[in-house]
A and B are shown apart, each in its own frame.
Chain A
Amino acid sequence: GEDVEQSLFLSVREGDSSVINCTYTDSSSTYLYWYKQEPGAGLQLLTYIFSNMDMKQDQRLTVLLNKKDKHLSLRIADTQTGDSAIYFCAESEDSSYKLIFGSGTRLLVRP
C-alpha cells in the first residue's frame, strides 16, 4: 500500500535554513503537500506541488520534488522561532479524496 515516511525531528538555529525530507512509495501520486501543525491546533496547508513539477517557491518556502526517487523536500529559508511546529508530508492521487500522511517532522528552532 501507499506509504509516506519522514524523519521525526529537526533542530536548527534561528536564521538558518531548514530542510525537511519526505519519501513516498505511490508512483500514482499526483499531488504532494506540506501541512504545518502548531501546538494545540489542526493541520494547515502550507504548500503543494503537482507531480509534473520539479520545484515550487513561495516566499521563504521552496519545495523540491524528485519523482524518480520519490523524494520530496521542504526548505524554509531564514527559519524563525514561529516556524517551530510539526510538518507533515502528504500525497494523493488525481481522482482520490484520500490524503496519505507521513508521521510528521517536529521542527525546533533555537534562538
Chain B
Amino acid sequence: DAGVIQSPRHEVTEMGQEVTLRCKPISGHNSLFWYRQTMMRGLELLIYFNNNVPIDDSGMPEDRFSAKMPNASFSTLKIQPSEPRDSAVYFCASSFRTGFSEQFFGPGTRLTVL
C-alpha cells in the first residue's frame, strides 16, 4: 500500500483565495483525521470522520474551514477565504480501529497564505 496520500505537498496562495487540500486514506481504513501543525500550537486535531461521517469537528477553527468525505477513499479540507494565520502544515491520517488508535499519517501539505 502507498500509505496515506496528500496533495498538494506545498501550496502558496494569497489572502482571500480558496484553498482545497486533498487526502486519500489507506485502503480498508475506516477512520480519517485532519490535523494542523504550527510552531505555536503544535499538533491540533481539526476533524475526525468514521465510516465517511464527521464525528467530531470541534477542532475546526471557524466557519471558513470545511471538510468532506464523499467516499471511503477521498477527503477534502477547504479554507474559504484563506488568511495568513492559516499558514501551517496540514496532515491527514487514517486508521483501522482495533483496540487502540494507530494512526498512519500522510506527508502533509505545507500551506502558506500571503
Residues of chain A having any CB pair with chain B under 8 Å: 30-31, 40-45, 48, 88, 92, 94, 96-99, 101-104
Contact = CB atoms under 8 A, between A and B. Distances in A.
A97 B97 contact: yes
Interface stretch (B14-22, B41-49, B61-69, B74-82): B41-49
A103 B42 CA distance: 5
* 3 A-B pairs closest in CB distance: A42-B105, A31-B100, A43-B105
Interface of A is mostly: loop
Interface of B is mostly: strand
B103 A45 contact: yes
B107 A88 contact: no
Interface of B: 4, 31, 33, 42-43, 45, 48, 50, 55-56, 91, 93, 95, 97, 99-108
Contact of B101 (A42, A92, A102): A92
A43 B91 contact: yes
A44 B103 CA distance: 8
Contacts of A40: 107-108
B36 to A, nearest CB: 12
B103 to A, nearest CB: 6
A30 B101 CA distance: 11
Contact of A42 (B4, B31, B50, B100): B4
Given A43-B91, A99-B103, 13 more contacts: A42-B105, A42-B108, A45-B103, A48-B100, A88-B43, A92-B100, A96-B101, A97-B31, A97-B33, A97-B50, A97-B101, A104-B42, A104-B43
Given A92-B100, A98-B48, A99-B101, A42 B107 contact: yes
Contacts of A92: 100-101
B93 A98 contact: no
Contacts of B106: 42
